[in-house]
Amino acid sequence: MKKTDVLSASEIGQYHYCSCAWMLQRCGYEPESLALEKGKQFHVTLGDTLDGFESKIRYARWYAILGLLVLGVAVFLFFIEVVL
């Protein structure tokens, strides 16, 4: 089975929208459009933004763990004071 024998869901959507454009793309022709270029640039920017969020989420998790540890130590020390 060749890669060209398998259709993705996106290709089926493209075919449904415009079968001629789908066939031209399958034959190797790429569409040229200002809107298409803007869309590609938007997706690149969005991907970079999401990558930035992933690192921020990682840091936030570490800060949350650190905060919980500090809280646990504070509660432990509080109970030691109450008992003594």
pLDDT single digits (tens) 34-53:
888 898 899 999 888 888 88
Q: Is the pLDDT higher at 37 or at 83?
A: 37
Angle between helices 9-17 and 19-26 (to 10 degrees): 130
Q: What mean pLDDT comes out for the span 60-66?
A: 96
Is the model's pLDDT at 1 over the cut of 60? no
**Pair of tokens at residue 15:** 């075919």
Q: How confident is the model at residue 54 (pLDDT cuts 50, 70, 90)?
A: confident
Tell me how far apart the terminal alpha carbons of the chain are, to the nearest angstrom.
76
- Alpha-carbon distance of 11 to 67, in angstroms, equals 48
Q: What is the mean pLDDT of the chain?
A: 86
HSE, side-chain direction, 13 A CA sphere, residue 39: 6
- Alpha-carbon distance of 60 to 34, in angstroms, equals 39
